[in-house]
Amino acid sequence: MYIKPLFKIRILERAFVDKFVIKGGNKLYGEISVSGAKNAAVAIIPATVLADDVCRIENLPNIKDVAVIESILTYMGAEVRRLSESVLEIDPRGIKSYNVSCVEMVANMRASYYLLGAFLGKFSKARVPMPGGCSFCDRPVDQHLKAFEVLGAECHVEEAVIELSAEKLTGGSIYFDVVSVGSTINAMLAAVKAEGLTTIENAAKEPHIVDVANMLNSMGANIKGAGTDVIKIRGVQKLHGCTYSIIPDQIEAGTYMAAVAATGGNVLIKDVIPKHLDSISAKLRDTGTVVEEYDEAVRVIREGELHRCNVKTMPHPGFPTDMQPQFVALLSTASGTSRVNESVWDDRFSYIPQLKRLGADILQQGHIAIVQGVSGLKGAPVKAPDLRAGAALVIAGLVAKGTTEIENIKYIERGYENIVDKLAAVGADIRRVTYKNTMDDEY
């Protein structure tokens, strides 16, 4: 039989794919150790570009996003050595160009916008392909550009490439119209070496903002106020190398906390900063889950019935949007009706049809998901539309009776190190399976 070449290529590309296969219903018991924070790592690695010496970054999560930035910096001329799974040594002195021309690598990386701030801060110029959108939003960068312009850069956007250029960067007063994690970090990266004082008002306050500021300060920067609404940066001429250890991942920890609450059980979640988990712990307690706090761990215990609760996502210290899908999965088997209000992103509910395939009863009304708790979920084949939505499907699969197969796990593995091993170690029946893809694309 004759097969047209294009068709043949498609079959080869899709022939072998990985998926998670979960047999739900097991309660979780034991200990899980949390890795370094993804959203700090994806900013801290580009920040090393600003140094005039070697930087050693520790407690990095072993995930795809980190590997992608590692390869971008190597492509740009940095010498990157992996000392262990979680430690990189980066010597940025070989980077001689501000033109990030590795378009395909950058396209793989949602947070590639941090290359703008880092290269602008180093060279007073940057040329970076635009970050792509994602399944739940377009990613506007107007606030990033506003900050760069205040510092004296001219910004041109042409054919999906952003070009920034300044004679010299000079400190200024930046007021953000929206609270934006990426814009706040980019403003810090661009301002650390700008002449004079930069003030950022209405700054984001997430733990990883503080982490990036601490890392830059460990290289000799002068940043004060990170973690509050107002950040002040006094520009310095040079930044030296550093040894810096990244904070634990708030959202990875929260995801496992929600998983234990959903399945029931008793798990010690280790290597966390409990203060960073306050909003998540508070909401879990509303559902009747016990959360005990220790110095660097939380114990999550759920024995009784799960209660309904309402959740509204907000910038830190509010409830994180990156925990919203996992909580919708959790609340789908709670008694009563819960309202989950997404106020950070325009539409972060694209996964709801997938949860419904497992038997969840959820009605979306604009920014609000109305979750009517059901007595149980039933396994089914589903597809992860993005990282946190994928984590929500894992949680639902752990609860559901029968087998849940999750496709598109590349999204989940972008942000969760060893998720299969970590969950299996506490009693989940979850496997990563390579299979020959003969399924229809559409469910």
Contact residues for ligand EPU (CB under 6 A)?
Answer: 39, 42, 111, 137, 139-144, 178, 180-183, 204, 321-322, 344-345, 387-388, 415
Return the amino acid letter for 356.
K
Rounded to a whole number of angstroms, the minimum distance from the CB of residue 35 to ligand EPU is 13
Rounded to a whole number of angstroms, the minimum distance from the CB of residue 276 to ligand EPU is 13
E-strand stretches of 257-392: 265-270, 290-293, 297-302, 311-312, 337-341, 361-365, 368-372, 381-383
Nearer to ligand EPU, 141 or 420 (CB): 141
Residue 312: beta bridge partners? Answer: 341
Active site residues: 134
Nearer to ligand EPU, 253 or 387 (CB): 387
Nearer to ligand EPU, 345 or 435 (CB): 345
Rounded to a whole number of angstroms, the minimum distance from the CB of residue 189 to ligand EPU is 13
- Between vectors from CA 407 to CA 433 and to CA 250, what angle results, nearest 5°? 95
Nearer to ligand EPU, 114 or 119 (CB): 114
Nearer to ligand EPU, 67 or 236 (CB): 67
Nearer to ligand EPU, 68 or 95 (CB): 68
Residue 270: beta bridge partners? Answer: 33, 297
Rounded to a whole number of angstroms, the minimum distance from the CB of residue 388 to ligand EPU is 5
Q: Which of 49, 153, 129, 53 is nearest to 97 (CA)?
A: 49
Burial 318-354 (b: 16+ CB within 10 A, else e): ebbbbbbbbbbbbbbbbeeebebebebbeebbbbbeb
CB 133 within 8 A of CB 112: no
Q: Which residue is nearest to ligand EPU (CB)?
A: 182
Question: How far is 189 from 50, CA to CA, in rounded Å?
Answer: 8
Q: In a 3-state reduction of DSSP, which class is residue 367?
A: coil
Place of tokens 């004759």: 2
Rounded to a whole number of angstroms, the minimum distance from the CB of residue 345 to ligand EPU is 5
Rounded to a whole number of angstroms, the minimum distance from the CB of residue 139 to ligand EPU is 6
Q: Which of 45, 321, 50, 46 is nearest to 204 (CA)?
A: 321
CB 198 within 8 A of CB 171: yes
Distances (CA, A) of 36 to 144, 209, 270: 25, 14, 12
